[in-house]
Structure 1
Amino acid sequence: MGQKVNPLVFRVNFTEKYRSNWFVNPSTYQQIILQDYLIRQNIFNFFEKINYLKNKKNLSHFLNVTEITISRKFDQIFISIFIAALSSRIEQEKFDLILSKLQAILLKKLSFLPSNKFTNKLNYLNYPKIVITLKQSSTPNLNAIFIAKCLINELENRVRFRKALKSIMKSIYKQDKANQLLGIKINISGRLNGIEMARSEWIRQGRIPLQTISSTIDYCNETAQTKYGILGVKVWVCKRKNVLNKEVILK
């Protein structure tokens, strides 16, 4: 039963915190949930598109989003975007340009949400004020989303899945100099290497106690779009309890 429950939802209020923090009127609950979903989807899509710009070499590590938290205060939406650690210095102008473009996209998307007579009177639902802050993750190599994105990049570039799995596992343990990683498991399913019949393959090192609520486990479920179809990628990461995101605002 351990793999049939989302490990993050299973550990809320134990080792995991809520990634959406707000209280609203029950009549507007549905619209706020939809707003949070659109905000996260547009943020991930925005940074993925920037990865294909000409300056990809300078911003490759900067654009890897590892976590998004959303909090609200009446007519304001506070969005914290955790990204991988920077490998090179980035000018303040680029920060301002990226944040301004992202803010404009989010405001445009939220303004086209379906509304009714009640929500039309509440301008803060249709035209909220968005405050975005970028924070760096101190251990991106221990983040399930970051690992899944790296693996998806290899699979979409037609690298054989076994070679991609071994290289990623090797690089993860090589970067874990503080010995904070307790175990990792990666599962890939689909038409692996272009075979006609779909199957599932997995690799695991260390321990992944899914049924132990007190264990700190990060989880991610992503898809890779390959030449032969879609591959499902699941990543479980078990780390020590003191491993948290480093909340340093990038300036």
Structure 2
Amino acid sequence: MGQKVNPVAFRVGIMIGWKSRWYASKKEFSQLLLEDSKIRKFIKNHPRREYKSAGIDRIEVERTRDEVKVVLHVARPGLIIGKKGQEVEILQEELQNLTGRRVNLKIEEIARPEIMAQLIAEEIAQQLAKRASFRRTIKRAIESVMDSGARGVKIQLAGRLGGAEMARCEKASAGSLPLSTLRAKIDYGFTEAATAQGNIGVQVWVNQGMHEGDATNGPDAQASEAPKKPKRTYKR
């Protein structure tokens, strides 16, 4: 099952929280869902160059009756904050004009951007757009991710690779990547690289380790397990 679905969606509600956290009635749900999509597209495709080089990993949206709280998880927050926080206020006003609601913008720094799958995918896409060799790009990305402390990584490219006439799929991996294990922190990222021959899809899976659980329950759970072989019954 874990091999066929998005690894983030597979773990949502079990090990990972939702990126949009709010409740709405049936009449308002579709409108607010489109509004969330508009907010994410506006920030990701912002005309300022600093936003692309800042490394925005994910955008979370929380809603209350009074306001919309937008949380940006960024690798280099200084590029978005600007001097004395002026750029944050400008972005907040732009989001308020876009949604027509009061927006509370918050920016959080990512501790380890080197193993975030979305940032890795975007960096590969930028190199492919500059006509870099896709095999060399994949090899360098895998080496840098494994050197940063990841347990495993897989990168898959699909499209007209190297300007070939026929589209194909190329992938490379290193380390362990247990996609079906819910406790595993599998981060997933996807983006498209715009090249002269057409768009190339970039998919990245990164194994960041295991979610920490209560280790004290292990021996007790094993002791309380039913025996593998059933007890033999004797007829009288």
Given the two structures, how large is their TM-score scaled by the length of structure 2? 0.82
- Structure (1 or 2) with the larger CA radius of gyration: 2
2:45 match: secondary structure: helix
Deviation for aligned residue 1:217: 0.7
Is 1:80 aligned to 2:71, yes or no? yes
Decide whether the 8 Å contact of 1:219 with 1:235 is kept in 2.
yes
1:1-251 → structure 2 map (5 Å cutoff): 1-46=1-46, 49-51=47-49, 63-85=54-76, 93-94=82-83, 96-110=85-99, 127-174=100-147, 176=148, 179=149, 181-241=150-210
In 2, Cα distance between equivalents of 1:137 and 1:242: 18
Deviation for aligned residue 1:98: 2.1
In 2, Cα distance between equivalents of 1:7 and 1:153: 24
In 2, Cα distance between equivalents of 1:95 and 1:11: 38
Amino acid at match of 2:86: L
In 1, Cα distance between equivalents of 2:210 and 2:20: 22
Deviation for aligned residue 1:167: 1.4
Query: What is the alpha-carbon root mean square deviation over aligned residues?
Result: 2.2
Decide whether the 8 Å contact of 1:151 with 1:164 is kept in 2.
yes
Q: Unaligned stretches of 5+ in structure 2?
A: 213-236
Decide whether the 8 Å contact of 2:185 with 2:211 is kept in 1.
no
1:130 match: secondary structure: strand
Deviation for aligned residue 1:45: 0.9
Deviation for aligned residue 1:93: 4.8
Decide whether the 8 Å contact of 2:153 with 2:204 is kept in 1.
yes
Amino acid at match of 1:219: Y
Deviation for aligned residue 1:239: 1.1
Amino acid at match of 2:126: N
Decide whether the 8 Å contact of 1:144 with 1:236 is kept in 2.
yes
Q: Report the count of equivalent residues.
A: 212
Cα distance, 1:90–1:128 mapped onto 2, change above 3 Å: closer
Cα distance, 1:60–1:73 mapped onto 2, change above 3 Å: closer
In 1, Cα distance between equivalents of 2:75 and 2:140: 19
Deviation for aligned residue 1:3: 3.4
Amino acid at match of 2:104: V
- Matched with 2:229 is none
Task: Give the share of equivalent positions with the same residue, in percent.
Answer: 30
Decide whether the 8 Å contact of 1:85 with 1:140 is kept in 2.
no
In 2, Cα distance between equivalents of 1:91 and 1:78: 17
1:3 match: secondary structure: coil
Decide whether the 8 Å contact of 2:119 with 2:189 is kept in 1.
no
In 2, Cα distance between equivalents of 1:76 and 1:241: 35
Q: Unaligned stretches of 5+ in structure 1?
A: 111-126, 244-251
In 2, Cα distance between equivalents of 1:74 and 1:105: 20
In 1, Cα distance between equivalents of 2:120 and 2:7: 17
Decide whether the 8 Å contact of 2:82 with 2:88 is kept in 1.
no
Deviation digits for residues 104-149 of structure 1 (CA, Å, limit 9, x no counterpart): 3323332xxxxxxxxxxxxxxxx31101011100011111110001
Given the two structures, how large is their TM-score scaled by the length of structure 1? 0.78
Amino acid at match of 2:89: S
Deviation digits for residues 67-115 of structure 1 (CA, Å, limit 9, x no counterpart): 11111110200111011146xx7796536232223223323332xxxxx
